[in-house]
Every structure is written in structure tokens, then in C-alpha cells.
Structure 1
Amino acid sequence: MERTLIIGLGRAGLGLHGAVLRRLRAAGRHPDLFDPAPVLTFDPLAPEAPARADDLRPVTSIAEARTLLDPERTVVHLCTPPVARLGLLRELAAAGFRRIIVEKPLAVERRDVHEIVALARAERLRLAIVAPWLASSLTARLDRLVVDGDLGELRSIDITQSKPRMSRTLADGGHPTAFDVEPPHSLGVCLRLAGDAVLTGAELADMRVGDTVVPGMGRAALVLRHREATSRIVSDLTAPVRERRIQLEFTDGRAVAHYPGAEDDHYAQLRFSRTGRPETWEVFPDDALSAYFVDTYRALRDGTALEPQLRLATRVVELLADAKEAARPPGTTPGAPTAGHPVRRVSHAG
């Protein structure tokens, strides 16, 4: 059984990771994976903060956690903002913790992700990057449609990720741009379904709430060219409604699907049809984050290779870094989230 240490107690740490782990432990279906002992928690921003539930035990540092846990039997959940990961990973490695689940995205800049990968290899860290969409039942079904070829060859992927995120954005500056919030989920799916890609276009807009402007945290869009298909991802954090929609166009058919849009209703929907034939409509359970944690805890326990997952997460960060650069107006400082301008097209040889 694996003990758990959660670092970072915001929305991701307690609201998602902690809540899902509590549900999995309570269900009792995986007694070989999840130790019933209290989950240790550490908030680097408020190390003296008290526990918020009886099944949590706060610690004031990674060093204190090391005195209470055996790193060989512990899974660390690193849920701090993506701009503050490298230092904590170094500290965890120095303390002997090597099995670490990192919230997406792995980093927000190309240099940072390469430094993290180098650290992981030097310290033999076993890093898993949170990717529930890749563990999703819906993604698996879409993958089967692509592989089986019943609808022909895949030609395009269009993804819409919309949700109102004004309150969290105004209160928390942990994500530099809208590219770093939702697109890491969908970009990984595009790479899985259609293979590697290059960026061909990007757009970034500010979030405007009354007289307040949050640069780069409104609407983000990127276009990718794969070997045989094109992907377009649009994420709007100022939308009035929540939507997670994916549409696949094939040479002889179409699939339109929706990932679960709320934490209290883990069901996906999929409609697909071959040209000229009746549509098939499926609704099925898809608790992707729970499935991801079960699979990842088992992989960390059994020593299953995580290198493919790390390579994919690294590629996601690289492509998002390309998108930020392409969306930056000429003459502005690299990395600055200035937005509010049309799509810039970028060309690639070959």
C-alpha cells in the first residue's frame, strides 16, 4: 500500500487530488494501492496551516514529511502552480522522494521543462504528469475509431474547452496564460490520436472583467499540423457556459463527443456515423481522474515505465511554448502575455 503526500493545497491539491483520493479510499476497491493512514499535506505558501479534514495530517516542510514517510512507499502529488515546480522537485529528490505525480502542465516554458527532465534523469525520479483525458474512456473510444478505420482516415480534430474562470483567475496568478490552463489536456489527446505535430497558428486574448484586465488569460487558440490531419484547439476562460467538446472528421464519417463537464456527473457522450448511415449515440461512465490515479499508483508500485508519458508531457509544453511565442505581438518581450491581436501564422519547412 502506498502512503500519500500532497504538496500545494489549492484547487488542484485539495479540490481535485485530495477529493478523488478520499473517494477511492472510501470505495475500498483498491486496498492494495491506497494506505488508509492519513494523507500528509504541505502548503509551501502557508506551511503552518492546520489540516482541513480528519483524514489529513499537515506538515510544515518536506524534511518533516521525510521523518514520517518511507519514500519507497510514498507517492507525492505536486500540485503547486506550474511556475513553481523545479525547486520543489530538487528538494523532494534530496529528501529521497522519487515517485511523484505532477499537476499539468509540467512547466510553462521550454527551458524549465528541459531542466525538469534533466533533473528527473539525473536523480532517477519517476514522474507522472496528470493527464486524465489520456486515461479517459472517451479518449480510448476515439482512439479505437481512428485505429479501426471504420470511418476512414482521420483528417481533422476540433476541440472546444470553454468555462467561466473569472474568480479563480482574479484571485490566483499561478497560470501565466490561458494556454496553460485547459489546452494541456486536449493537446495531449491530439498528439495521441494524430501523432506529433507542428504549430501553424496561435491566438491569445486578455480577460476583461469590468475595468480589470488580466493579460493573456481570456481566450487561447492554436492550430496544429500533423502528418495526415489538422487540429484546432480553442479555450475560452471567459465563456458563460462550460463545454468540453471534441469533433473528429474522417474521410468517410464524423465523430462528435463531449467529455464530462462537471465533477458531480462523470459521464461522457459520443455520437459518430459513417457517411450516409444512421448515427450511433453512446453515453457511458468516464471518471477519468480516478482511473488515472489508480493506473498511476499501480504503475509507480510495479515499476512500469513512465518515460513515454514524460516525453508526451514535454512535447505538450514545447508546443504550447511555440503557441505563446507565435501569439506574442512583434516587438514585445519574450514570455510577456500581451494579447488582444489577430492570429499570427507561422510556417515550417517540410
Structure 2
Amino acid sequence: MLQPLVIGLGRSGAGLHLKALRNLASSSDGSIAPVIGCDPCPDATRDLSGVVLTGSPAEALRRVPDPAAVVAHVCTPPHDRLPLLRELADHGVTRMLVEKPLATSHTELDALRDLRAGAGLRITVVTHWLAAELTSRLTELVARRPYGPLRAVAVEQHKPRFTRSLASSAHAGALEVEVPHALALAVHLAGPARVERAHCADLRVGRELRRGLGGAEVALCHADGVRTVIRSDLTAPVRRRSVVLSFRDAEVTAHFPVGEDDDHAQLVLPGEDRRIFRDDAMLALFRAVYRPLPDRSPATDFTVAEEAARLLCEARSLVSPDRVTA
């Protein structure tokens, strides 16, 4: 039986990960040990019932007899993850579920790649769109070509994020918030790419200013000529997570669930009514990660995660302070 270890009990760890683990444990095919949580200052506003609380990874690992059975959920801020991953690997932990982004610099990405190869790590990044049923349907359309070859991808990821952006310094810019999900999806659907341009906008509320946290735009050119444009507005009045695939003969619009309170996706095909269906991508991702044997689903594909991280680093290098505007 696999042992969940959630490191970092903030919004992602205590909110999203614990919720998905509870759903997994209560599902017909879920069998996991009681969750161990690790955080010296866990978020007291979150439901931590049933979680064995510890203050450090070393303390947490003393509570499990077999580190090889541990699935480490790494939910700490992105800028200090590499030392933690090294510590976990030194203790014999090889299964890791890492919050996006995987890395924030090319140097960090290279070091993580070397660590993964040297320690035999199974790293999955939480870009759970890849585990979604909606993504599976889009992938089929790209492969089957009922509307001709894919020409372009447009991703819109909008949500109001004023409170968290003003209160926390966990993310250095808007590129790290929603964009990693879209980069992974674009790589999965259209293959390797290069960044043509990248831009971030400031977040301004009254006299408050947060550089680069108002939103982001990234344009990609894929190896086969497909163009992707990703837009993320973190000052938007409404939430939206949609993807438009432009094929030679038609457009297809896909809407991912926009929040934790509803897990329904929508797909609009040419000449058809909207297809609406349940699509709990986070639970699907956790099922893939907690399968006893290595999983080969898109959600656990490290090659895609690595390429998405490389593109994120490339985009960050283009967004120098003088290019961040209001």
C-alpha cells in the first residue's frame, strides 16, 4: 500500500491535494495509507482531519518503514524545491508528485534532470489537464483529423487573483500561476516548440503594485508549424479556462472546469450541441500516480513536463523587468 506524504500544507497541499487524496481513498479502486502531512506552520483554515502532522521531511519519513512506498506530494513554493527533492531522494523516496512549475530556471531544470536520472526518480508534475477526459477527446481529434490537420491552439486562462497575489510571494510572476498547465497541454497536442514572444503585466489595486502578477501572454511556434497563443489574465472579473483548436476545416472549443466547486467540462464541435460531462482531472491524475506499476498515461509523461518547463524558463528569460508593463 502506497503512503501519501504531503509536504507543504497551504492552498495546494491542504486544499487541492488533500481533497483529491480523500476522493481517491473513498473511490472503489483507491487503497492508500493514512496521509502524513509535513509543514511547520500548516494552514489552520484548512481541513486537516485524519492527517498525521509533522514538522519536517525527516520527521515524517521516520514514521514510515519503507521510503520506497512513499508518494511525496511536493507543494512548496517553486523557488526552493530542488534541495527538498534531493533530501527526499537521499532518504530513498523515488515517487514524487511535484506542483507546477517543475523548475524556474534552465540551471534548476538541468540539475533536476540529473537528479532524476541518478536517483531513478518517478516525477510527475501537477499539470492535471493532461489527465482530463476533455484532453483525451482533443488528442483524438488531433490524431484522427476529422477536420483536417491542426493549425493553431489558443488558450484562455482567466481568473481574479487579487487577494492571493497581494498576500503571498510564492509566485514570482503570472507565468508561474496558470501558464504551466497550458504549456503542457500545447506540447502534448502539438509537440515541441520554441517561444516566439512572452509578456507579463503588473497587478495594480489602488496603491498596491505587484510586478508581473497581473497576467501573461506567451506565443509558441511548434516544430511542425502549429502556432499556440496562451493568455492568462489574473485581474479578470470572471473565470475562464478554455482552449480553441483551429483545424484546417473547422474550429473546436473546449472548456475545462474553472474551479473546485464543479468538475464538468464542455466540448463544442462544429454543427453539434455542446457536450457536457464530468471530468475530475485531479482525481484521474492521482489514480495514475498511485497505480502500483509505472503508468504511461499523458498525465505522468515526464518528457512533456520537461519540455513545458523548458518553455516556461525560455518565456521567463524574455520577460525582463523593463518588459513588464501595466
Q: TM-score range by the shorter chain?
A: over 0.9
> Residue 61 in 1 paired to residue 56 in 2?
yes
Q: How far apart are the structure 1 equivalents of 2:44 and 2:266?
A: 41
Shift in CA distance, 49/58, structure 1 to aligned 2, threshold 3 Å: farther
Report the TM-score when normalising by structure 1. Answer: 0.87
Q: How far apart are the structure 2 equivalents of 1:311 and 1:128?
A: 10
The equivalent of 1:348 in structure 2 is none
Aligned residue pair count: 323
Among 102, 109, 121, which residue is 1:106 paired with?
A: 102
The equivalent of 1:16 in structure 2 is 16
Deviations, residues 73-96 of structure 1 (Å, cap 9, x unaligned): 221101101111011111111111
Q: Match of 1:340, as an amino acid?
A: T
Shift in CA distance, 78/172, structure 1 to aligned 2, threshold 3 Å: same
Is 2:155–2:242's contact at 8 Å kept on the other side of the alignment? yes
> Residue 328 in 1 paired to residue 320 in 2?
yes
Shift in CA distance, 145/52, structure 1 to aligned 2, threshold 3 Å: closer
Name the stretch that deviates more: 62-71 or 176-185.
62-71
Q: How far apart are the structure 2 equivalents of 1:201 and 1:51?
A: 39
Among 193, 199, 204, which residue is 1:208 paired with?
A: 204
Q: CA deviation at 1:26?
A: 2.4
The equivalent of 1:134 in structure 2 is 130
Q: How far apart are the structure 1 equivalents of 2:297 and 2:67?
A: 18
> Residue 6 in 1 paired to residue 3 in 2?
no
Instruction: Note the 1:180-195 alignment, pairs <5 A.
Output: 180-195=176-191
Q: Match of 2:152, as an amino acid?
A: S
Is 2:150–2:247's contact at 8 Å kept on the other side of the alignment? yes
Q: CA deviation at 1:310?
A: 2.0
Q: CA deviation at 1:174?
A: 1.0
Q: CA deviation at 1:306?
A: 8.9
The equivalent of 1:340 in structure 2 is 325
Deviations, residues 24-52 of structure 1 (Å, cap 9, x unaligned): 2123x124x423xx311111x53898995
Q: CA deviation at 1:233?
A: 0.2
The equivalent of 1:346 in structure 2 is none
Q: Match of 1:272, as an amino acid?
A: L
Name the stretch that deviates more: 319-328 or 96-105.
319-328
> Residue 317 in 1 paired to residue 317 in 2?
no
Q: CA deviation at 1:120?
A: 1.4
Among 154, 160, 164, which residue is 1:164 paired with?
A: 160
The equivalent of 2:290 in structure 1 is 297
Query: Percent identical across equivalent pairs?
Result: 40
Q: How far apart are the structure 1 equivalents of 2:46 and 2:212?
A: 34
Q: How far apart are the structure 2 equivalents of 1:175 and 1:93?
A: 25
Structure 1 vs Structure 2 CA RMSD: 2.1
Report the TM-score when normalising by structure 2. Answer: 0.94
Q: CA deviation at 1:305?
A: 6.1
SS of 1:263's equivalent?
coil
Deviations, residues 229-269 of structure 1 (Å, cap 9, x unaligned): 11000001111110001111111111011001121211100
Is 2:134–2:279's contact at 8 Å kept on the other side of the alignment? yes
The equivalent of 1:236 in structure 2 is 233
Q: How far apart are the structure 2 equivalents of 1:218 and 1:79?
A: 23
Shift in CA distance, 280/52, structure 1 to aligned 2, threshold 3 Å: closer
Q: How far apart are the structure 1 equivalents of 2:78 and 2:44?
A: 21
The equivalent of 1:335 in structure 2 is none
Deviations, residues 168-204 of structure 1 (Å, cap 9, x unaligned): 1111111111001101101111111111111111111
Q: CA deviation at 1:118?
A: 0.9
Among 233, 242, 267, which residue is 1:245 paired with?
A: 242
Q: Match of 1:190, as an amino acid?
A: A
Q: How far apart are the structure 2 equivalents of 1:170 and 1:108?
A: 21
> Residue 257 in 1 paired to residue 242 in 2?
no
Q: How far apart are the structure 1 equivalents of 2:70 and 2:315?
A: 36
Q: CA deviation at 1:6?
A: 0.4
Q: How far apart are the structure 1 equivalents of 2:305 and 2:153?
A: 19
Structure 2 gap segments, 5+ residues each: none
Shift in CA distance, 213/47, structure 1 to aligned 2, threshold 3 Å: closer
Q: CA deviation at 1:213?
A: 0.7
Deviations, residues 89-145 of structure 1 (Å, cap 9, x unaligned): 111111111111111111111111111111111122221111210001111111111
The equivalent of 1:80 in structure 2 is 76
Structure 1 gap segments, 5+ residues each: 333-337, 342-350
Is 2:14–2:48's contact at 8 Å kept on the other side of the alignment? no
Is 1:49–1:58's contact at 8 Å kept on the other side of the alignment? no
